[in-house]
Each structure stands twice: as structure tokens, then as C-alpha cells.
A and B are shown apart, each in its own frame.
Chain A
Amino acid sequence: MTVIAPETKLERNILKKDANRIKGSALTALIKRPTKTTGPFSWVTSVDHKKIGILYIAVALLFFVAGGIEALLIRLQLFSPNSSVLTAVQYNQMFTMHGTTMVFLVGMPIIAGFGNYLIPLMIGARDVAFPRLNMFGFWVFLFGGVFIYSSFFLGGAPDGGWFGYTPLTSSPYDSGILPGNGTNFWAIGLLLLAVGSTTSALNFIVTVTNMRAPGMKLMRMPVFVWMMTIISFLTVFALPVFSAALIMVFFDRNFGTTFFFSATGGDPLLYQHMFWIFGHPEVYILILPGMGIVSEILPVFSRKPLFGYSVIVFSGIAIGFVSWGVWAHHMFASGLGPVAVSAFSVSTMLVGVPTGVKIFNWLGTLWGGSIKFTSAMLYSVGFIAMFTIGGLSGVTHAVSPADTQQTDTYYIIAHFHYVLFGGLVFALFGGVHYWFPKVFGRMMSEKLGKITFWIIFVGFNLTFAPMHLSGLAGQARRTWRYQEELGVTFLNQMATVGAFLIAFGVLLLVINIVKSKFKGEVTGSDPWDARTLEWSIPSPAPEYNFLEVPRVSSVDDFWHKKYEEDPDGRSILRDGVDLKEEPLRVTTEEAVSKYGVHLPSPSIWPMIVPLGMTIGAYGLVLFNWYTCAIGVAVTAAGLIGWAIEPDTENAEHGGAH
């Protein structure tokens, strides 16, 4: 190595970078940087957005099963009015964990998983802007989820409700109000998860801003990418408010502060405002990606473009903005006063307008199309119907005097399950069927898929439709038992049967996924004759994504490269296009050496940092300061290692930029 005497500032900076790289290599030589990108251990060290996406979705599906079991236990308890299937403590833990799991350990991560896998592919990029930060987000999720679930074995699961209203949750941990460690696990666990979600969202924003392929203007991006971008902004602004509220709860509970204690001037309602100003954008964070998925699937299986693309995009943006102005509709019964209640009633009604517009545009997409009912299409059309029902019951909540009868009853439970299950989950299941061939190069069984859809569809409606009536007829939420005199026993029994039907359907779906991964019909790059960029590359998607960076000239660019329009406006195959022709596939090594592909290198630090954070978290909830100190040390070591390590190093591929 020649020593260069630095003469200019530029030369000094280059030397510094070289020196750091050597230092970094020396430090990380203690922990040798992983290099392999294949094999089982590569799943732990990979920064490839596709592997991370699959990990997010797989782990989220595991938590979905856990949350589903919690729901089944709830429904078993409610099969009869005065049941003893669960004790009151267990029941309160079940509904708390069911909500917490489904929102934070399934909804948010599975959306991050879909976003991870698809965003770079849909915008023609090789990976996200910050691959290691991406990996960090997944490990925080996994460790955070395990952390929260370990509470079952460490003093009892959280039982303050998924929303954790104060002062129930902020009473001193030894006051007997909510005894045990459960709520501490809940607060700290969610704080951990919030870090991961926020960094993921930031990553997506930067990726979409900077890494779109040439010609991929914002108004040429797939709707799914638009929705993910909007929710990433919502996440970045909303989650920190919830994190602040959680810290305040934790402090009230354990360190003697009185943020939410009225006797010393605190206000329990402050928590509700902070929670719901996060919580309402949160539910749009959950549903908009589902709408994005449906907006991708419907055009493909109608063989028509999305009707009103720009309107759908702008209504998504409008929903994003208006969602900040409706939060207190969750607080209509809390005594806000008629002016505030009226204002939030009106704003809540307003947010229904852009949502309704989307439904009409989806119907417009179907109209005049050539509709093929694959499993993915069944789920997407099912989404339109189910989300309409959920959205309309939502409008009835906006009528605040009516909401004072509805809130905290099963009517509300019916509403949000129609939009979250009939909406988001249907879209996700459809998305699984739709993108499975791209991920694994095989088709899922269409026959089993259709049977599964109908079982889930019937089970879902059987479970939640009766709740509209039982809620208005007097059945309250979060109740371990109900009175026989209410006369809603039969409705509850229907709901329990429906829930088990859903469970059976989900089991079939899992079987379909596993079976198809190994034995599914092998397929090529574009089995659906689709419209967006991810279908232009081989299946399963190669590590490098695109051999050549695509040049985009319109929305649905891939479709337009295959088809042109005749004078009548119908698509005809372009000359020289052979739909059976497969795009070129090379090995990763060849991509790097011959095609000039640069890829980010694997790393271990983005797994070490969440490990340290989780150790520290255990220290906090178990009041063991030594454990805390170890956690801080591991986190710090991880951050230092991460910071010093260059993003790309000599590996199987890559090399310095």
C-alpha cells in the first residue's frame, strides 16, 4: 500500500475513509463479516429485501396463527353466557393479546413484508435505500414479538386491552389494579416494535424518492407503491406519538410520575388523545396497502387498466391527510363536549368520500373487462364487497349520537373486522396467491385456493355479521361473560362456529402454501399476463432483480411493452413479442462480473442491535439493572460495528463502489 501524502481536502478524506475501512475490517475481523448469500444461515445475515420480505411474512403468519388461537379461545368462552372455559384473568389476557398480536405482530409486519419484497421490484430498483436498516427492522420485529409473548411465562400476559387506556394501565404496578408484569411487557414490547416500524417506513420513503428506475415518474408508479409511500409517511409521524404515550404510561406505572393521574392534575384523557391520534392513522396504515394490493390484482384479471388511476392515488393521499383529523371519534362517549363531538363527526363523514371513490373506481375497472376468477381475484372482489359493508357501518359510527349506543359493543367489533379481515386480510390472502409464483417460481393450487376462499368467506360472514345485531341489542365488548337474559346466545354460537370455519380455511391456506412451495406447478416469469415491472424478471426473482435497469415510459409499462392498442382501444400483442419467451436468467456471480451489478453485502450487526435492545428490554421489565447494562452494551457494540462496517465489501459479489 503506497502512502500518499495528502495535499488536498479530498485526498485527506479518501485516506480517512481507507483508514476507517481498515479499522472496520480489523474490528469486524473479530467477528468475521458473513459473506454467503445462500444456505440457511444466509437468512440470518441477508440484507436482500426479498429474503427480508419473506421472513416478515412468514413470521407474521405464525403470529397470525397465535392471534387466531386467542380469538378461538375467546369465541369458545362466549359460546355460552356463563361459561368457565377461561377465567376472567385469562379472558382479559386473550382479548388484549389478540388485538395486540393482530395489529402489531401481524398487520404492520406483513405489510412491511409485502412492501419489502415488492417495492424495489415495482420501481425497477435492486434493493431498498438502506438494506441493513431494512434487516434491522425485521429482527426488531421478531425479537419484540417473542419478547411480548414470553410474558405468558414470566408473570402473565398483558391484560390492559390492546389500546391500554389509563389510568388502568398507568396505575402503580403494585397497586393491584393490573397486577403483574404484563402491562410492562406490553409497553416496552410495543416501544421496541415501534422502532422497527419507523425505520422501515423511513427506508421506504427514501427508496421510493430516490431509487425509481429512469422514466418511473411518481404518477407512473404502481398504486401499491403509492399506498406504501403514503402509509410510510403516516407511520413516521404517528408512531412516535404512541411511543411517547407508552413511555409516559411506563413511567407512571413504575417511577412515580402522574401524567394520567387526576388527583395531582394529570388527565386520563390525555392518553386517549395521544393513543388515537396515532391509532386512527394506524388503521389507515393497515388498510391502504390492502387497497393497493387489490388495485394491482383487479386490473390484471380484468385485462383492463385500473379505472381512474390518478383519482385512486389522490384519494389515497386525501385519506392520508384527513386521517389526522378524525381521531376523537373514538372518544365520543368520553365527555368532549358538543362542539368537539360535532366537529369530529363531520370530519369522520368526510373521510368516507375518498374511500367510496375508490370502491367505484374498482367497479369501473371490472366493468367492460374480461374477468378471470382466480383465487387472487376472488379475494379481491370479496374485498370490494366486505369493505363496503365495513365502510358503511363506519359511516354509522360517524353519527356520534348513534355511536354512543354503538361504541364498546359488538357492533364496533363487527365494523372493524369487516374492514380489517374482510378488507386487509382478504387483500393479503389474494396477494399471497398472486405473487406466490414470483417468489417461488411455482403456482399455488387454484382448486384448493378457491375452496379455501369460500370456506373463509362463509366463515367470516357467519362470525361477524351477527355481531352487528348483538351489539346494538346490548352485548358489550371485552366482557368475559354475558347475561342469558340478553337473548344473544344464538348469535354468539353462530359466531363461534364461523370462527372455527375461518380457522379451518386458514389451515387449508397454510397447507396450500407449504405444498405448493415444494410441489406446485413450475411456472415462468409472467403466469398471469400481468402489467407491472416485477413480472418482467424471471421467477423466482433472482437475487439481483433486474439484469438491466428498466426504462419506463408509462403506467403499467410492462403491459405496454407487450401490447399496443388498436384504433378501438383494445390491446393487441406487439410484433415480435412472444409471451412464452422467458427473460434471461444468470447466476448472481455472472450478474456482478459481466453485467456490472452492485449488490449490498450481508451483515450480522443489524441482528445484534435488536438483540441488545431486547436484552435491555428484559432488564427494564424485570427490574434487573445488570441485564439492562448488558443490553445497552450489546446495542452499543452492534451500532459501532454497523457504523464502521462499509455497506459493501469484498464478498461473493459486490466489491467496493
Chain B
Amino acid sequence: MSRTRRLWMLISSTLITALVVTSCATGPDNKQNSLRPEGDSAEKIMNLFSPIFWLATVIGIAVIVATIYVSFKFRATDKNRSPKQIHGNSVLEIGWTILPLIILIGIAIPTVQTVFELDKKADPGAIKVQVVGKQWWWQFAVETDSYQILNADGTVKTDEEGKPETANSVVTANELVVPVNRQIELDLRACDGETPVVDKTVDELKQANPCNVIHSFWIPSLGGKVDAVPGRSNRLVLKAQNEGIFTGQCTEYCGLSHGVMRMQVRVVSEAEYSKWIEGMQKPPVQPSIASEGQTPTPAQRAIEKFGCANCHAMDNPATVSYGPNLTHFGPDFENEVLGGGSIPKTEEHTWRWVYNATDWENGWGIPMQADDCRLGVAPGEGKRCVGMPNFSVPYVYKGSDGKELKLPAMTETEAKAIGDYLYKNK
């Protein structure tokens, strides 16, 4: 085969490979794919990225083909042993400096335009959600109209002064429900509220405030990612164009279980959304504490025994707590998730998570650093309280004063009782 023939074969096979490769260009339809936008923001980004990517591909192929071509054309032969010693060419230099510059200016203009467009505040009428990244799950506080907090028996909940409690948000975890074609304005944070600075030592502050890491919120089908930084509030505006479940994950390394810190956005019709909000504003089907005069159920006894209320709000849909608000844990839809968004919400997964949330080897949990949470103290105090502890084993804690604290293991029966209680609180 002649050299020229071989050369053209090489060039054409390179081109074909490149074309084949880049034609897999949209990737799998996995509902977590930036190349298949299903939201306004992701679409705007794709409209900017796609032509630039193709331009870059064409330039790349051109340079590589040129490299291969030149390498073959000027191979050493007996005839060209002594090539002309050319040192440069000013016209070429100016040309191949100016041309890329012009191309880049052409790219820069729509880039800056898109930056400002995506940074715009949401329209009035958008649904506001305060998102807090925690280790290792996402908390969503969806703003609603003002509503009264009710007890499980239907009476109005009152505060210490006897005034009825009202709230204007519902707090949930792992899954954010939103209506289709409506703007959602996310306020991304890494801390619950502001920690008062006075009267605390620095160590106490550092231990007491669990906002010790940066997270990043990413639902690629709907939009780009924005970090949740301690001390800051970052805005992300999304608008889903289609109904469905769009998954995402934390995209800023946040420690041990960063790799399985996931979440999803469930896009539903306006009617379904209103129904969901209404359901979230109601009191729980079962309270976590027995009312006066009533015998506690097995679940209520187990909840008290293992101190769930130390970390989880359970009777008030508007309360923010160290762990997820479990008031309406029970699934309202299919394919909900628990355990930091990486575990499907089924009855079995629920009680097994309560039993041992660290059982990642068998798929019932995720890695945690949380054994000392069983001390029952406020979150953050104690040596290792990041996540949810393993209740299936006894807990022994030796204090610095030498005193030992022994806590019993949870039985499967107790776990199942709690799981059942949670699953029924839809």
C-alpha cells in the first residue's frame, strides 16, 4: 500500500472514530444528565455549551489531523535529509494569535450574557425553598402560605405563652417536590440559621455548629451546581419543563459519605403539588410521644428509650432539626428515598435504617462517624456525632471523669415498631 493511501486511511479512521465517539454525545437517559436538559437553566447552559463544544471538537480534530499529516508528509527520507532551517514567519504568528483571539471573543460574549441571565432573581410568584446541606443529606424547607401547626389530636399547638403556633414552611429531606413549569428559587446554605456568638467558647461554637463543611447542590437535568458554603446564602433558580423524578448528588467533597450523598427533585402537576403541601401541613398521623393518660405504644416507648427526639423533629412539619424532620416520613409517592438519598424508601429499608444506619456493606446504610450521638447530647458535642449511629449494638462511653455510660442495643422488634410508626406518618 502506498504511503499516501496509508495516510488517508489513518486520517479517515481518526475522523470516523471521532465522529462515532462524539455521536454518543447525549449519553444515557438517566435523569441526571446535563446533556439532556429538562429545565430552563440546564437548557440555557446546553444552548451555550453545545455549539462551543462542537467548535472545540472540530478545531481539535483539525489540529490532530494536521499533526498526523505533517508527521507523515515530512518523514525522514534520503531526499530530505537536510531540510531548510526556517526560524519562523511573522505573518503566521500574527495570524494564529489573532484568529483564536477573535474566536474567544465570540465565545466570551454569549458566556457573559448567560452568566447574568442565570444569576437573575426569580420572578415574583416563584416558590422559595431554603436548602441546607448537612452531613450527609439535604434538608428542604419549602415556603408556603402561613398555616397553623396542629397537634396529632387536631388541637392547635400553642407555644409557652399560650399563643397558637403558625409557620410558613414545611421541612423535609432528600426529596424536593416542585410543580412543573414554575420557577423555584433555592437559597443554598450549609448551616441552620445563625449561631449566636455570645456566651460560647470558640471550641463550643465549633463543636455545637454542625455546619463544618461545604456541600454543592447539583441536579444536572435541571441546572448547574451551586455550592452550599457555611456562612453564606447562594441562590439557584430552577424551572422544570417536564414532570418526573430528576436525581442529583452533592458535588463538593464533604467527608466520609460524600460519595453517597444524593437527592432528587420530583416534578409534579400543580394539583398534585397543592395536595402534597396540604398533606405536609397536617399534623402527624401518630405522635411520637403518648398523650397524658394514654399508654405509650411500643414505637413511642422505643422512641423515648433511644432518644430519637434529640436529633429528629417528629411532631411539627415546620421544625428544623439536626437530623431530618420525620413528621411526614411516610411515602406519599412511589420511588421515594431515605438515608441521605441513596436508599429506596421501602418498609424494610426503613426499619433496617433505624436499626443500623451504618450497615453499608449489606446496603441498609451508609458509612457514618456517629456513635457518640447516642450520648444524647446536643448535636455536635461529644467526640464523633456526624450522621446517625448504629443502634443495633450496645454503647459504652467512658467519660473523662472515669464514669461509664452504658446503653443497650436496639432489638429488631423495637426497630420494626419505629419503622412502622414512621412509614405510617405519610
A-side residues, CB < 8 A to B, are 82, 84, 87-89, 91-92, 160-161, 165, 167-168, 171-172, 174-179, 256, 258, 261-264, 266-269, 302-305, 307-311, 333-335, 337-338, 341-342, 345-346, 349-350, 352-353, 356-357, 359-361, 363-364, 366-373, 381, 384-385, 388-389, 392-393, 395-396, 398-405, 407-409, 465, 469-470, 472-474, 476-483, 485-488, 565, 568-572
Contact = CB atoms under 8 A, between A and B. Distances in A.
Nearest to B256: A88
Given A335-B229, A342-B116, A469-B27, A172 B206 contact: yes
B115 A570 contact: no
Contacts of A168: 212-214, 253-255
Contact of A366 (B71, B214, B218, B256): B71
Contacts of B359: none
Contact of B111 (A267, A345, A366): A345
Contact of A399 (B52, B87, B119, B207): B52
Interface in B19-78: 21, 24-25, 27-35, 42, 44-45, 48-49, 52-53, 56-57, 59-60, 63-64, 66-68, 70-71, 74-77
B258 A481 contact: no
B108 A474 contact: no
Contacts of B111: 342, 345-346, 398-401
Contacts of B114: 401
Contact of A409 (B64, B92, B231, B251): B251
Contacts of A476: 218, 249-251
25 contacts: A88-B367, A92-B253, A171-B212, A175-B380, A177-B212, A263-B195, A307-B89, A309-B88, A335-B229, A360-B92, A364-B92, A367-B70, A371-B71, A395-B104, A402-B45, A402-B49, A404-B45, A405-B42, A405-B224, A478-B258, A479-B259, A483-B262, A485-B31, A487-B27, A569-B85
B398 to A, nearest CB: 15
B96 interface: yes
A474 B34 contact: yes
Contacts of A342: 111-112, 115-116
Size category of the B interface is 35 or more
B271 interface: no
Nearest to A306: B87
A167 B213 contact: yes
B118 interface: yes
B361 interface: yes
A304 B384 contact: no
A453 to B, nearest CB: 14
B419 to A, nearest CB: 23
Given A175-B212, A479-B249, A350 B104 contact: yes
Interface in B209-233: 209, 211-214, 216, 218, 220, 223-227, 229-232
Interface centre among B48, B218, B226 (most CB of A within 10 A): B218
A302 to B, nearest CB: 7
B383 interface: yes
A334 B82 CA distance: 56
Contacts of A405: 34, 42, 45, 49, 220, 224-225
Give me the 3 closest cross-chain CB pairs, A-B, nearest first.
Answer: A404-B224, A262-B231, A487-B28
Interface stretch (B197-205, B276-284, B348-356): B197-205
Given A263-B194, A371-B74, A401-B111, 17 more contacts: A171-B212, A172-B207, A179-B384, A304-B86, A338-B115, A385-B67, A405-B42, A405-B220, A469-B27, A474-B30, A474-B32, A477-B253, A479-B249, A487-B30, A570-B82, A570-B85, A571-B85
